[in-house]
Amino acid sequence: MKQVDEETREILDSFIAEALERLDEAEDALSKLADGGDASGLGSVFRLFHSLKGSAAFLDLDSIRGLTHEAETLIDYYVKAERPPSQESLDIVYQTIDLLRALVGRVQASYGDDGREDAVAAQVAAIRANVEASRADGSGSAPEPAPEAEPAPEADPAPPPERLNEIVLNELVTRDMTERFLAESLDLVDRLESGALGLLSAPDPAESVHSMFRAVHTIKGNAGFFGYGLLEGLCMEAEAFLDRCRKGSTAPNEAFVNGALSHVDALNRAMASVSIVEGGYGGDSGAEGKGPAFPAPAEASAAPAGGAAYKPIGEILVEMGAADQEAVRRALDQQEKPLGELLVDSGAATREAVASALEIQRGIEARPAAPAARGEELQRRDVRVDTAKLDKLFDLVGELITAEAIVVNSPDLKGLRLDHFQKSFNALNKISREIQETTMVIRMIPMEGLFNKMTRLVRDLSRKFGKPVDFRVSGQETEMDRNVIEQISDPLVHILRNSIDHGLESPDGRGAAGKPATGVVSLDARYEGSEIWVSVKDDGKGLDREAILAKAAERGLLKADPATIEDRDAWNFIFEPGFSTAKVLSEVSGRGVGMDVVRKNLERIRGAVDVRSTPGQGTEFVLRIPLTMAIIEGITVRVGDSSYSIPLSDILEFFRAAPGQLTLAADGTETVNLRGDVLPLVKLWRVFGVSGAAERPEDGILLVVKAGGRKAALLIDEVVGNQQIVIKSLSEYLGKIDGLSGCSILGDGTVSFIIDTGKLLSAVLE
Amino acid sequence: MTEAVRRDARDDLFIDDAEDEDTQANKYMFFRIAGESYGIGIRHILEIIELQRISQVPDMPAYVKGVINLRGKVIPVVDLRLRFGLPERAYDDRTCIVVADISGATIGFIVDTVEEVIEIPEAQVEEAPRFRSQSGKDRYISGMGKVGEDVKILLDVEALVRDDDARAIAEAGREP
């Protein structure tokens, strides 16, 4: 780690923050570009790289400067040629962004961007090759100026192509993703462990085993995606082990628990090796023995070369020649005791060999372990906060605002001239409002981050399966509680995997079905009444009703005559644990675990999932998530003593009616004529049984609303204001109330009820 | 004077927080409704607050007075007088809201006034007599506690919210 003075460190810190932001922006602009956005996006990507290059040059960060320079050249070509970048070029730019992020990570850890020269050189070479190729492609375009003669010093040795390939693959994974993967996997292993420990006393052992299986399966999927072969292999073994119990061939007894725990240990150790050697984002991590990929700053200089990965004891024994592969595998299969003991018992290895293998293993484990390598210093400067704390903060802010109102309205102050007090109060009030707004915003995040992650996933899956996908994303600005977003991330991953793996036909199959070779998968989020709907839709072959019902019958799930089963119920079978109609298990889907996760996670957030499927035309999954903590823009109105809030998007206008505009029919139907539009009049005081409100239409205000294809004028007393409203659900004790989707606390502490316009109108009108 | 009583009750509550479940088990918080003293197991009680602005909720039985904002948490409040089928009475400065946790749900009960916390050993609690002609309120009595010469009514709060119309409405309104 370089020694830097305070000032330089500050500059570097702001550079890091800026760089990470720029890279996010660039990636964002690129994904819009890929969606067919306008070419001006490319210009902004160019500018992002350019300003990054400038800052890097100023700070003597040569690797970053060199890399941004090359990327700039590539993008500049497309900007000048006025054509959209080719798929290959986009890939290269994405990879460059990832590598840049990794380099910025190094800056963060060691205040320098050196140490990744190989990867940088390879990437530079790849970009240059791509620039050449693109020029050759764009035959019609004017000759371009040769790349400036400002080669980055480390750019010279062009690596051999195989090496290039390897790096390119590795660079697909960002540091951030690895960290998230590790955190998530560690949680999952914990779950596996506690599941195993509590299995014998679990009320429903079968469900516990299912949940353990799901945990392992998720780790496996991710490990496969990240290319961690060792971990993936261990997960497969653990899966097979648990599966035996799931299928009923082993009983969930003491021996099973011991076996499961030994899998837990193996996974934990493998995870530690991920963070040290496979670790990272890094191209050069492929070359084993380079030491920690993310040394914590303090260790960076001391990190020993030649660090080795943790290895399972069996592997070490095999390498030592003290036991053969086959014997180890057999022992692993029936593992209930430490592997070494088993091998000794069965005579496959000598006690001495095992002892010395354990020695080696301990030697590896004693090296700076994963937690240190996963040093916080490397993270972006954000903090993971327990949302319970945020809830608490949120409640406290509500209390603060209420208390403030009580102080200022205190009867003790009545009749006093309080010029200074008033001034101080205004200042205080301004601050507390700001605190309130900030607190609200903290919990709500747009779905954009999640959707970007999915864009990336689809890209990778599409290549993996060789199925071109046109991925359309909309509604990413929809805001959702951070917690909820975390809960739907896994379900979305599973649904998208299924859509691409099973839903979409192969390009040939699509051709035969008369569809364009490129499949369309769309991801959308929108507010729908009191819910947020996140939908994933593909135009693939649709669900196979026959196969699903046959499988359901085989598993004894079918209780009625298949012919009488509604589609809806048939589709529900796919959410059963272990349900899969796939004949071939593929690497990422097919064991029928995923959809089970979808339903579980949604139930946890009190949501639901709908499936619609038409044979030959495609499938749509709609995740329906209740708006527990969502924020909407709303108008708050007063009716008698009560406050109601109406989503701004439902409101067309409001006006005070003149007597001439109103008509009361003999049957009691009231309408109002608004510029020739005859609208039904809905008196909110009557609908909600509020007393003390303006009962006659001409005494109040009419609010014109539109929802669910209906239009009406709502009679209210007055409009109080327009504000961001945090939706809270009403107590379960009160149950669901017709026409209301929840409640909200206004700035002055009063509770206002949020009107679900669609439901209100359909309840009141025919 | 109201303040003093309330503070006493609170102090007792807070001391109890530190004690374990066993010692809480036999303690009851008593409040008065229409001249009669009722007790609720102290482990259910979260806090006692002054009466505050209640927002009326549509479509509710009369005893569900509405909801209040309890420091950012919106909780329903039930008027126990009306819940017991007693005549309504104007609230005064001794009227309190007893905030209780009933199997995870936070609910406020409006009572005439809060009295005290008393420990009644299990041996001193007798089963409530059951009359054929029982009116609504008696179904929520879990027992009768003897304190010296006095006999005090102990309420089963779970029954208070479980077995009632609001609950039925809730069930009916919930989507399948």
CATH of the domain at B24: 2.40.50.180
Contacts of A728 in chain B (CB under 8 A): 74
How many A-B residue pairs are in contact by the CB < 8 A criterion?
96
* A411 contacts chain B (CB < 8 A): no
Residue A144 is predicted with a pLDDT of 42
* B49 contacts chain A (CB < 8 A): no
The model's confidence at residue A538, banded by pLDDT at 50, 70 and 90, is very high
**Contact (CB<8Å) A731/B55:** no
**Contact (CB<8Å) A735/B53:** no
**Contact (CB<8Å) A736/B174:** yes
Residue B30 is predicted with a pLDDT of 93
Nearest CB neighbour to A735, from listed B53, B74, B173: B173
What's the rounded mean pLDDT across residues A661-681?
A: 89
Asked if residue A122 has pLDDT above 60, the reply is: yes
The model's confidence at residue A2, banded by pLDDT at 50, 70 and 90, is low
Q: Is A639 exposed, middle or buried (0-12, 13-18, 19+ CB in 10 A)?
A: buried
The model's confidence at residue A606, banded by pLDDT at 50, 70 and 90, is low
The model's confidence at residue A681, banded by pLDDT at 50, 70 and 90, is very high
**How close A498 gets to chain B, by Cα (Å)?**
28
Q: What architecture (CATH level 2) is domain A447-626?
A: 2-Layer Sandwich (3.30)
Q: Which residue has the higher pLDDT, A113 or A402?
A: A113
* B170 contacts chain A (CB < 8 A): yes
Pairing of strands A519-528, A479-481: unpaired
**How close A605 gets to chain B, by Cα (Å)?**
15
Topology (CATH level 3) of domain A6-170 = Four Helix Bundle (Hemerythrin (Met), subunit A) (1.20.120)
Which chain A residue lies closest to B174 (C-alpha atoms)?
A736
What's the rounded mean pLDDT across residues A590-617?
A: 76
* A730 contacts chain B (CB < 8 A): yes
CA–CA gap between residue A758 and residue A738 (Å, rounded): 11
Which tens digit of pLDDT belongs to each residue from A23-60? 887 887 777 776 655 566 777 788 788 878 877 877 78
Regions of chain B where pLDDT drops below 50: 1-19, 137, 166-176
- A344: enclosing H helix or E strand: helix A339-345
Domains A6-170 and A447-626 share a fold: no
CA–CA gap between residue A599 and residue A491 (Å, rounded): 8
CA–CA gap between residue A682 and residue A501 (Å, rounded): 50
- A455: enclosing H helix or E strand: helix A448-465
Whether the CA torsion A228, A234, A239, A242 is positive or negative: it is negative
Give the global pTM: 0.44
Contacts of B76 in chain A (CB under 8 A): 730-731, 733-734
CA–CA gap between residue A365 and residue A271 (Å, rounded): 12
Most confident of A422-436, A637-651, A739-753: A637-651
Look up residue A378 and give its DSSP letter. Answer: G
Residue B167 is predicted with a pLDDT of 46
CA–CA gap between residue A46 and residue A520 (Å, rounded): 29
Alpha carbon distances (Å) from A499 to A89, A287, A513, B85 = 26, 35, 17, 58
8 Å CB contact between A506 and A616: no
**Contact (CB<8Å) B67/A734:** yes
The model's confidence at residue A15, banded by pLDDT at 50, 70 and 90, is confident
Alpha carbon distances (Å) from A31 to A208, A452, B82 = 40, 8, 61
CA–CA gap between residue A757 and residue A740 (Å, rounded): 8
Of A577, A723, A586, which is closest to residue A648 (Cα–Cα)? A723
What's the rounded mean pLDDT across residues A62-85?
A: 82
Number of domains in chain B: 1
Which chain A residue lies closest to B158 (C-alpha atoms)?
A733
What's the Rg (C-alpha) of chain B?
16
Where do the domains of chain A lie?
A: 6-170, 178-377, 388-445, 447-626, 631-764
What's the rounded mean pLDDT across residues A180-187?
A: 78
Q: Which residue has the higher pLDDT, A449 or A533?
A: A533
Pairing of strands B45-50, B96-102: antiparallel
Structure tokens at A608: 């639901």
CA–CA gap between residue A12 and residue A381 (Å, rounded): 13
The model's confidence at residue A407, banded by pLDDT at 50, 70 and 90, is confident
Classified as helix, coil or strand, B56 is: coil
Q: What number of other Cβ atoms are within 10 A of residue A517's Cβ?
A: 13
CA–CA gap between residue A131 and residue A189 (Å, rounded): 45
**Contact (CB<8Å) A402/B69:** yes
* A351 contacts chain B (CB < 8 A): no
Query: A124: which residues sit within 8 A by CB, 6+ positions away?
Result: A66, A67, A70, A152, A154, A155
8 Å CB contact between A636 and A648: no
Residue A348 is predicted with a pLDDT of 62
What's the rounded mean pLDDT across residues A425-454?
A: 82
Q: Which residue has the higher pLDDT, A281 or A394?
A: A394
First to last CA, chain A: 73
**Contact (CB<8Å) B170/A735:** yes
Which chain A residue lies closest to B175 (C-alpha atoms)?
A736
Topology (CATH level 3) of domain A631-764 = OB fold (Dihydrolipoamide Acetyltransferase, E2P) (2.40.50)
Q: What number of other Cβ atoms are within 10 A of residue A486's Cβ?
A: 15
Asked if residue A480 has pLDDT above 50, the reply is: yes
Contacts of A400 in chain B (CB under 8 A): none
Residue A702 is predicted with a pLDDT of 94
Residue A713 is predicted with a pLDDT of 95
Residue B28 is predicted with a pLDDT of 92
Which tens digit of pLDDT belongs to each residue from A563-581? 888 888 888 888 887 776 5
* B174 contacts chain A (CB < 8 A): yes
Residue A123 is predicted with a pLDDT of 85
Residues 624-653 of A with CB under 8 A from B: 641-643
CA–CA gap between residue A338 and residue A73 (Å, rounded): 57
Q: What architecture (CATH level 2) is domain A178-377?
A: Up-down Bundle (1.20)
Q: What number of other Cβ atoms are within 10 A of residue A228's Cβ?
A: 25
Residue A295 is predicted with a pLDDT of 36
The model's confidence at residue A638, banded by pLDDT at 50, 70 and 90, is very high
Strand partners, A754: A645, A742
What's the rounded mean pLDDT across residues A705-728?
A: 84
* B73 contacts chain A (CB < 8 A): yes
CA–CA gap between residue B27 and residue B31 (Å, rounded): 13
Asked if residue A250 has pLDDT above 50, the reply is: yes
Residues 88-127 of B with CB under 8 A from A: 105-107
CA–CA gap between residue A479 and residue A484 (Å, rounded): 10
Residue A127 is predicted with a pLDDT of 85
Q: Which residue has the higher pLDDT, A62 or B176?
A: A62
Place of tokens 């076996």: A259
Whether the CA torsion A34, A36, A40, A41 is positive or negative: it is negative
Asked if residue A324 has pLDDT above 70, the reply is: no
CA–CA gap between residue A596 and residue A592 (Å, rounded): 7
Structure tokens at A62: 């040569």
Contacts of B106 in chain A (CB under 8 A): 731
Residue A642 is predicted with a pLDDT of 92
Nearest CB neighbour to A395, from listed B57, B71, B170: B71
Asked if residue A716 has pLDDT above 90, the reply is: yes
The model's confidence at residue A313, banded by pLDDT at 50, 70 and 90, is low
Task: Tell me which of A362-371, A605-614, B43-52 is least confident.
Answer: A362-371
Place of tokens 């009466």: B51
Asked if residue A373 has pLDDT above 50, the reply is: no
Residue % of chain B over a pLDDT of 90: 32
Q: What number of other Cβ atoms are within 10 A of residue A127's Cβ?
A: 25
Q: Which residue has the higher pLDDT, A305 or A599?
A: A599
Contacts of A751 in chain B (CB under 8 A): 55, 67-69, 74
The model's confidence at residue A376, banded by pLDDT at 50, 70 and 90, is very low
Which chain A residue lies closest to B106 (C-alpha atoms)?
A731
Provide the mean pLDDT of chain A: 75
Nearest CB neighbour to B58, from listed A732, A737, A749: A737
Residue B67 is predicted with a pLDDT of 94
Domain that residue B163 falls in: 2-173
Of A5, A91, A48, A126, which is closest to residue A56 (Cα–Cα)? A48
